[in-house]
Structure 1
Amino acid sequence: MSVLSPCISVCLHDPATDYCYGCGRTRAEIQTWKSPQTDQEWKTKNLEEIKARLSGFQHEAFERSYAYKKKHGVSPIKELKLKGEYK
């Protein structure tokens, strides 16, 4: 089974750490996720690593949004953007 991208459409990186405020990935990790050569084992491991980076409200919001994305195919924010209800 393929690992779903952790992107939850909150794409803004912290200038000090380069971690995305939404998914916790670095720009380099995002590029690795996009590569067709990246295997599912790496993605599974990286998903656990990025979850460990998040804490408090950020971790809770990510978990809720990622669970929603796994169930519905898009994150809640992406869904609102597609409907034109979020800018």
Structure 2
Amino acid sequence: MIVSPCISICKTDPKTGYCYGCGRTMQERKIWKLEETTDEWKKENLEIIQKRLTGWQLESFKESYTYKIENGISLFKKKLLDE
């Protein structure tokens, strides 16, 4: 199973249409939730969205996504729970 790239920062840039947190479009977010979406598509999409992100945004995504894979929760949600 491939973990969703959602890192709980769900705001869309009105200019690009990409999520500030994960870099996906609304359509890509919907496709991730479909049962018939293949792991191959998800792997390709992960590569695509990481090419959209740059600088601190890309580093923040990688750090939070890695944490989510290892711990089952994004860094953003963890910080909310720790407060």
Category of TM-score, reference length = shorter chain? over 0.9
TM-score for both structures, normalised by structure 2: 0.95
Aligned pairs (5 A) from 1:21-40: 21-40=20-39
* Alignment gaps of 5+ in structure 1: none
> Where in structure 1 do 4 or more consecutive aligned residues deviate above 6 Å?
none
* Alignment gaps of 5+ in structure 2: none
Aligned length: 83
Which deviations, in whole Å up to 9, do the C-alpha atoms of 1:18-66 show, x marking residues without a partner? Answer: 1000000000000000011101000000000000000000000000001
The structural deviation recorded for 1:80 is 2.7
TM-score for both structures, normalised by structure 1: 0.91
Aligned pairs (5 A) from 1:8-19: 8-19=7-18
Q: Percent identity of the aligned residues? A: 51
